[in-house]
Amino acid sequence: MLTFFDCEMAVGSTGFDLRTAKTPAELLAIMDRYAISDALVYDRGAYEMGLFDRHDFILEFCAASPRLHPTVSVVPPATGEQPEPEALVGFCLAHGIHAVRAWPVAHSFPFDRYAMGRLLAELERRRMPVIVSAMNVQDHPWAHTPPWRDIRDTALAFPKLPILVHYTGMLQGRSLFPLLETCPNVHADLTCVSFQYVEEVAARFGSERLVFASHFPQEDPGYYTCWVNYCGLDEAGKRNVASDNMRRLLEEVR
């Protein structure tokens, strides 16, 4: 049976009509329903309110199970909203946080080497993945347009930094495919998915370039599990997309 490593699940309070999991037991039950073995989890309330120094809730939540892996959001170091990059990344490693999230659209900042460079350099040194999401606080998940130019320039400037693009959006293949071709350190989620999208990406760039993100509770995990379960890849390719790619990226964090 194919199992999944979900690299985006939200928990906690929300100001919108979303059915977030409020307890670890509730989230684990949802994960079991969709054969999700592990998940990178973030604090939905902190994301919505733009809080970048509230980590106690997500750390306590994820401490309940080794299947739950905490992540935190980041912003440009110059704003002073977080510790200096070396201290911030050190804090993350000390508390089992092996990936961070950047929401340049929702939190109004450029994801480029000028605004984010000092932090990205430290993340690259530690091989810590940064998840770049085009999601806004409240919008339609298929209407996103990631900051492609910023992502490309950043990926080229920090070639050993794993970058995961979330909410690649619909009709974005003409922007995504050149990025995958040019920047081997960039990985994409499945929100660009359409007929044979998974097969096409795997054939052109390798199944190692895709990661599974359910975006729960913004979306139903079953929508994306079916694309992997029933795609035309062989079993090794399916496992790459479902879980192995994410596990490998996290294992390389040092």
Q: What is the CATH number of domain 4-251?
A: 3.20.20.140
Quote the CA–CA distance of 52 and 37 in Å, as a whole number. 28
Helix (H, G, I), strand (E, B) or coil at 74: coil
pLDDT, position 138:
62
Which residue carries 């999991």 as its tokens? 21
Does the structure show a pLDDT above 70 at 33?
Answer: yes
**Mean predicted lDDT score pLDDT of the chain:** 93
Do 76 and 119 contact (CB within 8 A), yes or no? yes
Binned at pLDDT 50, 70 and 90, residue 17 comes out as confident
Q: Please, which pLDDT band fits residue 135 given cuts at 50, 70 and 90?
A: confident
pLDDT score for 194: 72
pLDDT of residue 85: 98
- The mean per-residue pLDDT over the stretch 224-238 comes to 95
Token couple for 254? 């040092």
Q: Is the pLDDT of residue 24 over 70?
A: yes
Number of helices (H) and strands (E), helices first, in the chain?
11, 8
Percent of the chain with pLDDT strictly greater than 70:
97
**Paired residues of 77 in beta bridges:** none
Residue type, 19: R
- Phi and psi at residue 98, in whole multiples of 5°? -115, 10
- In angstroms, how far is CA 195 from the centroid of its own chain? 23
Tell me the CA end-to-end span of the chain in Å, nearest whole number.
31
Per-residue b/e over 75-84, b at no fewer than 16 CB within 10 Å? bbbeeeebee
**Nearest 5°: phi and psi at 145?**
-130, 105
Q: Where is pLDDT greater, at 63 or 136?
A: 63
> Could you give phi then psi for residue 67, rounded to 5 degrees?
-80, -15
What is the per-residue pLDDT for 142?
A: 63
Segment (H or E) for 248: helix 245-251
Per-residue pLDDT tens over the stretch 189-198: 998 777 788 9
Tokens matching residue 178: 């050149």
Q: What is the mean pLDDT of residues 222-233?
A: 93
